[in-house]
Every structure is written in structure tokens, then in C-alpha cells.
Amino acid sequence: MRARSRFVLPIFAFVALLRAGELLANPAIDDSALRTRQTMLENGLTVLTLEDHTTPVVAFQMWIRVGSSDEARVTGLAHLFEHMMFKGSKNIPPEKHGQIIQSRGGRTNAYTTSDMTVYTTEIPSEALPLVIALEAERLANLDISEETLASEREVVLEERRMRTEDQPAGRAREALYALTFQALPYRWPVIGWRSDIASTTVEDCRDFFSTFYVPNNIVIAIVGDFDGDAALEQVRESFGNLAPAAEIPRYATREPPQSGVRRAEVQFDLRAPVLATAWHAPPAGHPDAEALDVASEILSGGRSSRIYRRLVHEEQIALSAHSVYSELAGAGIFGTYASVRPDASIDRVEALFLEEIARLRDEPVTAEELEKAKRQIEVAMVHQLTTNEAIAGRIGYDVTILGRIRPLEDQLAAIQAVDADDIQRVARTYLVDAGRNVVHVVPPPTSTEPGQGDS
Amino acid sequence: MSGFARLAGFIGLASLIACAGSVDPPIWDRPPPPIADSPVVDASKLHRFELDNGLSVIVLEDHRLPRVSLGIALRRGSASVEPERAGLAGFTAELMKRGAGDRDSLELASAIDALGSVFGVGADWDSITAQIWGLTRDLDSMLGILADVVLRPRFDTEEAVRARGELLAALERATDDPHYLERRFAAAALYAGARAGLPLSGSPETVAALDAATAREFHARMFVPNNAIFFASGDLDAGELLERVGAAFGAWPAGEIPDAGPPLPAPTPTARRILVVDRPDLTQARITLAHEGISRTDPDRLAASLLNEAIGGSGFSSRLMQRVRADAGLTYGVSSGFSLRRGGGSFAVATFTRVAEVRTVIDLLLTELERARREPPAGLELEEMRALQVGRFALGIETSDAVLDSLVNLEIYGLPEDSLDTYRSRIRAVTAAEVARLALELLHPERAAIVVVGPAAVITPQLQDLGPIEVVQP
């Protein structure tokens, strides 16, 4: 399955509800997303409503088309601002928003990526009017004070330590994007650089809010057990008088072609080194996306895949290894990642990974591999149909980033249409040596064992 | 319906007049609607059987999508393993994935991947589960794979050597992860010498001693049908499926049900102890406070869960989130929880902060635990925790797979079959007096073990007067 963004930062993340891959996929699938009703208010706010009365819960999502790649002077602002959306408004004290949702039996969260900021709520159906009222309240009356910003900066710095600074995988990811993108605003981390987070001002937040949190930059998706007409009416009344922006600033920057291998090393006190490699790939919505998905699946989908067999099982040099095509709104990355066994050489893992990439360019994949990969993608894709939250996420993403809902049938057909020539063609087009970016996270060269006794 | 429209109209009005000073309370200040009480499980779709060999069968039909999920769960798990062989249950589960019936490791993986299926075998403390998800049209193939893996695993010697090497390397890698170190040393602080004192995946010493023969013997002892549950959900016909389950698993001979393992030691620790796990490179310290808790079947577990949610739990609303994150900006997250196992379990509070503030945060945690004993949640706070729990429960069973997971879990612990349907009324029945009693019985900040992962040189001086400190290497 394709990654939809490189790095998702939830405001609040320790209930990791990893749904085990729920499956399905078949011609006779009822794609409920096609029943979505799309309405645009006069001020440009897009509202997506999709009724499904199976269970008495509803998902409400507010998608803002702003992410770290829209940041102009202060990195990490989109994400820090997302936190500030929970810090109170004219009629709601700090933290109260989340508490009210919880006290009605709901859960709420938010996340920021390089391209978007998303506020999500799942709640028993009868509380939907409350959710709409609360979202409208913070859009209309957000209150950002020096005091709450000061403490939230510290919260975000703790988040940065947890996700990035003290985590080998986080260090690898940050270095990889900084290396791969030299011009595009994807080069800095979503969470931002430490010094920027520490120096963000109330004024920065207010400017950001008035520039990007405007109705013509927002998509609301409501999915589940509710009355579409009544909800739409309430959204119209609550959000309808927000003023649109005449213009929303965007970067015009293009990434110049890469003309040579780039390498970076990060030294970190660890035992299992991390290898991360990236190539430039096309952005979201590009017709080569499906071929890249299938190529990635052939490389690393399941235990019968090429990379698992070779690096993990046969050679016993990696603990895990995988590839993924990640689509961003304005660019793409085909990335490969490996956790190197403490007793193995990272250079050898890199060499064998590259051999497998070269094989994709040089030899056609087998019919059997092709079929298997397509099936795996199809089954995973239809997994999206199982919860209101997931369906709201799908339609919200599609409309926010692509401007339309991609019918599942079209996506499945595009996957089915990929053939061995396509795989070879995209491998030759994108996975080229001169466009490679390589990061090694390794222990410092003279790593000495710390020998501290009891205190 | 008309209620909805009326409410919606009201909100529009409220937002219009908000500037002029509202006459009616805004929607968020009104009391939450009453908790719904409809049955959770549709009895017409749920089917239970038992085969002659004692295998329990639970089937939940859901025909909305052409997909199925099937599995076998044992009512015993890693807790049945003696400490010297810690990791054996997980090792056995891993080997079951590496060849079964007529298929070797690669052939089995290829068969699963060709269906687009997801397949796993995993060991938890009180259960071992093999499960496969896929399309209805592949039901026979999936059932065949499941039966092979459960009944006819190969335990190939060469695969065992590879798997052991991978597990040992993974254990080494795990020490790169501060969160792993925090959990591992918290368990060690509470349960040294017992199986529960070591991670689920074992230690390098115990895993190094595992081999194919040990796994084969363990499999034979644990996998008996009278200790197992077959479960399935999705687009299937229960009657037809039962026939196929009978054909696949009917000849599986019953055996002796293995011991569930000893109860966990309690109380523990009996006096304050502090472990500092030295990671000089870290900029952020991980902090856990822990002591004994309650078991999965403890009659007080729902009241305890309300108490826990008010203190820390896993949400926005807790006292600790307010104090440590929102007010002080000292962390990104703080949580607490009872790990409910058959033989007991721990109560733990966990958070993380910059290394210079470790003592400040530990003091905040201890203060809030003390306060919970003096001022236990009651009134509106308790009411909100009830709503939170009930709502999370509803959201947690949105899919039929999730409902079935819960039903299987109840079966593993021998809890009443109708527990899901009665959950909300049982939560509602918890009184403030019960919660207050439990706060005194279950919270022991004065003797909780304190585990901190981070640079000992910075952390140890902050903790000198808190209790005896041991500095350990990861």
C-alpha cells in the first residue's frame, strides 16, 4: 500500500490502535465513497457527507490544505499551530475541546503532514451537532496566548525528542529528506527544527491562522450514522460566515534534477544501524504511481518478496527491510529502509538492496510475482472500507489533495493494468543511480562501552 | 430526527447571539445525552459450538464485504513457560510460520502472499493466536493454511537456527529503543526471578538455548483442542463453516490442559527502589512508576479502570495530562494503566521528559497519585470518565472483527459471554465509594518502583533522597 505522506504527526499518540490488515477486494465491491455528497458553500468551504447507518457512530474530519511545506520563515509552524488549536478559544478554555469530546464518549486527535493538517473526531452519532459547534467555535474564535504557546512549545520539543532526536529511525528520516530535497520545502522536517520551534511567536501563529485557516482552504468530511441534510444545514450556519481569503500563498519552487549520488552519515549510539535510501518519484495523482506501488510490493511485500527473502532470510544481514512509494502533493519519494543486524555490514546491505533495484531495471518481473503483488495491493486497498474514520480519511484526502474522489474501481483497474514492461520502465525512469540519496545511521567510530558503576 | 433538527437550529441561533451574550447555555455546556443501551452483539449473527474434542467455535457473520478472518486462540500463553525458557512461546509461534504440512518456509509464505492474505502467529502472556485474513472466495485455502500451521508445523532445524539468530539480533536492536528498555526494566524491578520479570520475547540468554526440538515439544503440550478456540468473522455461513471446521480440526486429539503459570508476586516492590538505566546519549528520559495491580478477572476491574482513566489512562482528560503536559509543558504524553493478566498484573504510570526535569516530573507523578488517594474521582469527574469509557467501548467495537476479538478475549479468560452487552450497565453501576476504596487499595506511590532510562550522570544526582538507586547498563 502506498504511503500517503512521509511523516504524520498526531497531536496525541499513545493509544496505538493498529488494526491488523483487514482484507477483502473483489470485483463486486460496494464502494460507498461514491455516494458522497459534495457541497461547496459560498465562502469556498467544501463539505463531504456520506451516510452509513450501520453503527451509531460518526466520523468528523476537518482537512486544512496546509502543511510544513507551506511554511515560509519558521519551520514546524503548521504542526505547532495544530497543537494550538486545542489550547482554547473565546468560549472554550485550553484543553477543554478534547475533554468535552471525551466526556461525550468520543475521541479526537489531529495530525500534520508536509501537505495537510487534519482534525479528526469519532463520536456517538447524537453528539455530531456538538462536534460541528466546537469546530466552528475554534475556527471563528481561536485564542492564542503567550502563556499557552510557551508551554506548548515545550510539549512539541518533547515530541521532537521522542520521535526524532532519540530514535534512530527518526534521525534517518530527517536526514533522508534533507538530503533528497535541496530546493523543495519538503527538505525540512514536519515537526520543524528545534531552534524554530523554540522561537515561534504568537504573531507567527496568528499570521499563519489568518493566511491558511480560511474556508476556501478547508474540506470537511462527515461519514457515518447521521442525517446529511441536518448536518449540512448546521455546517452552513456555523461555518458559512467565515471570510474566504483572496489568495493562499504557495511555493513555486521546483526541485532541480539530481545529478549524482548523495550520501549522509548520522552518528548515534546504537547497535543496529539503519540504512535509508530515496529516489525522486512523481507526485500524488501521477499515472506512474500504480507501477511504483507494484514494484515496491514485489520488492518487499510479504515474506515471499525479493528483499525479505534475500536480506532477512537468506543472507541474514537485515532484521527488516522494505520499500515504499510515498506520494506528496508536489513531489514523491521511492524509499528503501533496512534495519541492519548488529553483526552485519551496512555496506553489504546497501549493495544487495541496490542489486535488487538494478534487477528491477534489467530484468522483467515474473508473471507470478506480478499477480501476487497486485493481489496484495488490492486486498489492502479495500481494507479502507471498514470504518467510518478510514472512509472519511480516504475521501478527505482525495478531495483535499487531488480535488476529486478516486473511485476504488478506477484504482483497482489501474493496478490491474500494470505489466512487466511498466515495472521496468518506471524503475529505469526513477530508480536511477544518479538520483540516489543514501543515509547511514551508525554508531560513532570509536564507540566505547560506558562503564559506570553504582552511584 | 426532529430532535436533531431542533438542536441544529439552536446552534445556529446560539452562534449568532453569542456576541450579545447568550441567553441559553451553549451546546457544550449542556449535559451529555443518556448512554444508549441497545445490545452490542446481534444474536442472530453470532454462533457458538463445541466440537467433540473440546474445541470451542465462535462465528460472527457479517456479509457486508466479501472478506473473512479466521483463527485459533489458545487459553494459555507465555505465562505457562518457566523463566529459564522465556521466549519459547514466541519462538514456537515464529517457527509455526516457517513451514507446515506439505509446504516449507518459502512455499508457505508464497501461498499466503498469493492470496493477498495477512497471516500471523503470536504469543501473548495468556494466549497464543494464529490468525489469517482474506477474501471469502479463498476461505478453503485459508482454512487449509490455518489447519496446517496449527496442527502440522514442521519445526525445521535449519529454520529454527535462522529464527533464533533473528530473535537474538532483534533483542539486541531492542536496546536501541528507550521505550523497550523502560518496559523491560520495569518488569525486572517488579518480578525479578519470575517469568513476568523478563520480556515476552525473552532474554539473550534464554533465547540462545531454544531449538527446534524444544519448540516441537512445547507445541505438542500447548496445542490441544480442549484448550483452544476457533473463531471466524465475516462473509461466511456459520453452518457450512462448522462442517469445514469439523473436517479440519475434528480429529485433533484432546489432551491435558497445560498449567496457566503461577500468580504474579504481590505486593511488589515491598519498598521503594529506583533503577536508572544508563543511556548517556539520550536527551529525553523515560520514566515509569510501577507496582502490583489486579488480574484480568478481578471483580473490581471496571471500577479500577475508571480510577485509572481519571488519573492518567490514555486520554486527554486525565489529571496527569492536565498537570504534566498542559500546565507544565514537561511532556508530550503521560499515561497509566493496569496490565490485566490472568495471574495478576502491574499498575504503571509512564511518561518522558527532558533529562534535566526528571525529578520535577517524578514529584508531579507522585503528588498526583497521592492526591488520587485523598481526593478520588467523584461527581462530574467520575461521570465524565464513565462517558469516556462507554464511548471508547462503542468506538472499539465498530467492526465485526473487533467484536469477535473481544468475544475471544472473554473466552480466553473464562469471563461471561454477555460481558459486552452488560458492559455499559456495569460501568454505570460503579459508585464513587467503590472508586474511593480502590484508590486506597490499589495505589501505592510510597513504595512504587521508579525506572528511569537516560544519562545516569544527569539523572542520578536528582534522585538522591528518593530511595536506594541502582544504575544498570542496558
- pLDDT score at B299: 97
- Asked if A53 and A225 count as a contact pair (C-beta separation under 8 A), the reply is yes
- pLDDT score at A157: 98
Q: Is the Cβ of B106 closer than 8 Å to some Cβ of chain A?
A: yes
- pLDDT score at A10: 52
For chain B, the average pLDDT equals 92
Cα–chain center distance at B50: 27
- Asked if A400 and A47 count as a contact pair (C-beta separation under 8 A), the reply is no
CA atoms within 13 A on the CB side of B116: 28
Return the sign of the alpha-carbon dihedral for residues B418, B422, B424, B427.
negative
| C-alpha distances out from residue B419 to A353, A354, A411, B303, B399, Å | 50, 54, 41, 15, 17
3-state SS, B296-324, equals CCCCCHHHHHHHHHHHCCCCCCCHHHHHH
Q: Is the Cβ of B298 closer than 8 Å to some Cβ of chain A?
A: no
Q: Which helix (H) or strand (E) holds A109?
A: strand A107-112
Pinpoint the alpha helices (H) of A184-239: 194-199, 202-212, 228-239
- pLDDT score at A91: 96
Nine-digit cell string for B304: 479500577
Question: What domains can you pick out in chain B, each with its CATH number?
Answer: 46-249 (3.30.830.10), 274-412+420-472 (3.30.830.10)
Lowest mean pLDDT among A136-150, A335-349, A379-393: A379-393
3-state secondary structure of B100: strand
Nearest residue of chain B to residue A140 (CA atoms) = B15
For chain A, the average pLDDT equals 91
Which residues, 6+ apart, have CB-to-CB distance to B224 below 8 Å? B54, B252, B253, B254, B255, B256, B257, B258
Under the banding of pLDDT at 50, 70 and 90, the label for residue A234 is very high
- pLDDT score at B317: 84
* pLDDT 10s digits, A181-229: 999 999 999 999 999 999 999 999 999 999 999 999 999 999 999 999 9
Task: Give chain A positions within 8 Å (CB) of B67.
Answer: 22-25, 382
Cα–chain center distance at A422: 26
A262-267, strands of its sheet edge to edge: A262-267, A437-442, A274-281, A332-340, A318-327
Contact A162 B284 (CB under 8 A): yes
* pLDDT 10s digits, A31-51: 899 999 999 999 999 999 999
3-state secondary structure of B1: coil
- pLDDT score at A383: 66
B79: closest CA of chain A, how far (Å): 24
Which residues, 6+ apart, have CB-to-CB distance to A50 below 8 Å? A32, A33, A35, A36, A37, A221, A222, A223, A224, A391, A392, A395
A46-51, strands of its sheet edge to edge: A9-10, A107-112, A117-124, A57-64, A218-224, A46-51, A37-40
Mutation for testing the B interface, residue in A90, A103, A239 having most B CBs under 10 Å: A103
A432: closest CA of chain B, how far (Å): 28
Residues 40-79 of A with CB under 8 A from B: 54-57
- Asked if B311 and B336 count as a contact pair (C-beta separation under 8 A), the reply is yes
Cα separation, A10 vs B332, in Å, equals 11
- pLDDT score at B19: 37
Cα separation, B68 vs B142, in Å, equals 9
Which residues, 6+ apart, have CB-to-CB distance to A20 below 8 Å? B118, B120, B131, B133, B401
Cα–chain center distance at A426: 23
Cα separation, B164 vs B92, in Å, equals 10
How many CB atoms neighbour CB B447 within 10 A? 14
Nearest residue of chain B to residue A16 (CA atoms) = B314
Cα separation, A213 vs A217, in Å, equals 7
- pLDDT score at A34: 94
Under the banding of pLDDT at 50, 70 and 90, the label for residue B140 is very high
Cα–Cα nearest to A419, from A369, A345, A379: A369
Residues 346-385 of A with CB under 8 A from B: 368, 371-372, 375-380, 382, 385
Contact A313 B105 (CB under 8 A): yes
* CA torsion, ordered A395, A401, A404, A406, to nearest 10 deg: -60
At A18, phi and psi to the nearest 5? -85, 110
- pLDDT score at B275: 98
Nine-digit cell string for A294: 507494484
Instruction: Give the whole-number percent of chain B exceeding pLDDT 70.
Output: 94
Q: Is the Cβ of B8 closer than 8 Å to some Cβ of chain A?
A: yes
Contact B353 A20 (CB under 8 A): no
Pinpoint the alpha helices (H) of B97-177: 105-114, 139-151, 157-174
Q: What is the ipTM of this complex?
A: 0.90
DSSP bridge partners of B61: B234
Under the banding of pLDDT at 50, 70 and 90, the label for residue B26 is confident
Work out the end-to-end distance of chain A between its first and last CA atoms, rounded to an integer number of angstroms.
50
Nine-digit cell string for A383: 481494507
Lowest mean pLDDT among A330-339, A412-421, B142-151, B392-401: B392-401
Is-cis flag, bond preceding B267, omega within 30?
A: yes
- Closest Cβ–Cβ partner in A95, A341, A387 for B326: A95
- pLDDT score at A362: 98
Work out the end-to-end distance of chain B between its first and last CA atoms, rounded to an integer number of angstroms.
60
Give percent helix, percent strand, percent coil of chain A, each to the nearest 5.
45, 20, 40
Surface-to-core class of residue B319, CB atoms within 10 Å of its CB (0-12 exposed, 13-18 middle, 19+ buried): buried
- pLDDT score at B36: 65
Contact A150 B329 (CB under 8 A): yes
Buried b (16+ CB within 10 A) or exposed e, A12-48: beeeeeeeebbbbbbeebebbbeebeeeebebebbbb
- Closest Cβ–Cβ partner in A22, A107, A130 for B395: A107
- Asked if B449 and B186 count as a contact pair (C-beta separation under 8 A), the reply is yes
Q: Which helix (H) or strand (E) holds A177?
A: helix A168-180
Question: Is the model's pLDDT at A30 over the cut of 70?
Answer: yes
DSSP bridge partners of A111: A10, A118
Angle, helices B212-222 vs B88-96, to 10°: value is 90
| C-alpha distances out from residue A362 to A304, A423, A427, A431, A433, Å | 21, 10, 9, 12, 13
- Asked if A331 and A407 count as a contact pair (C-beta separation under 8 A), the reply is no
Surface-to-core class of residue A434, CB atoms within 10 Å of its CB (0-12 exposed, 13-18 middle, 19+ buried): exposed
Mean pLDDT value of segment B332-337:
97
Contact A133 B28 (CB under 8 A): yes
Under the banding of pLDDT at 50, 70 and 90, the label for residue B34 is low
How many CB atoms neighbour CB B378 within 10 A? 14
Which residues, 6+ apart, have CB-to-CB distance to B239 below 8 Å? none
Question: Is the model's pLDDT at A16 over the cut of 70?
Answer: no
Q: Is the Cβ of A12 closer than 8 Å to some Cβ of chain B?
A: yes
- pLDDT score at B23: 59
* pLDDT 10s digits, B175-203: 999 999 999 999 999 999 999 999 999 99
Mutation for testing the B interface, residue in A158, A242, A307 having most B CBs under 10 Å: A158
- pLDDT score at B30: 82
Mean pLDDT value of segment A20-24:
31
Q: Is the Cβ of B420 closer than 8 Å to some Cβ of chain A?
A: no
What is the DSSP pairing of strand B228-234 with strand B56-61? parallel
Give percent helix, percent strand, percent coil of chain B, each to the nearest 5.
50, 20, 35
- pLDDT score at B392: 86
- Closest Cβ–Cβ partner in A122, A155, A230 for B8: A230
Q: Is the Cβ of B316 closer than 8 Å to some Cβ of chain A?
A: yes
Lowest mean pLDDT among A110-124, A371-385, B260-274, B287-301: A371-385
Mean pLDDT value of segment A102-131:
94
* pLDDT 10s digits, A411-451: 999 999 999 999 999 999 999 999 999 999 999 997 455 44
Cα separation, A425 vs A290, in Å, equals 12
Contact B315 A102 (CB under 8 A): yes
Return the sign of the alpha-carbon dihedral for residues B264, B199, B467, B352.
negative
Question: What domains can you pick out in chain A, each with its CATH number?
Answer: 9-22+32-239 (3.30.830.10), 262-442 (3.30.830.10)
* pLDDT 10s digits, B404-418: 999 999 999 999 999
Contact A161 B113 (CB under 8 A): no
Lowest mean pLDDT among A78-92, A375-389, A416-430, B191-205: A375-389
Q: Is the Cβ of A146 closer than 8 Å to some Cβ of chain B?
A: no
Q: Is the Cβ of B204 closer than 8 Å to some Cβ of chain A?
A: no
Contact B33 A165 (CB under 8 A): no
Cα separation, A154 vs B455, in Å, equals 20
A311: closest CA of chain B, how far (Å): 12
Q: Is the Cβ of B169 closer than 8 Å to some Cβ of chain A?
A: yes
| C-alpha distances out from residue B239 to A212, A394, B402, B474, Å | 57, 36, 22, 53
Nearest residue of chain B to residue A310 (CA atoms) = B106
* pLDDT 10s digits, B316-331: 889 999 999 999 999 9
Which residues, 6+ apart, have CB-to-CB distance to B436 below 8 Å? B376, B378
- Closest Cβ–Cβ partner in A23, A166, A238 for B133: A23
- pLDDT score at B8: 33
Mean pLDDT value of segment B339-361:
97
Under the banding of pLDDT at 50, 70 and 90, the label for residue A9 is low
Mean pLDDT value of segment B4-16:
34
| C-alpha distances out from residue A449 to A269, A271, A443, B390, B474, Å | 10, 12, 12, 50, 11
Mean pLDDT value of segment A316-320:
97
Cα separation, A66 vs B391, in Å, equals 31
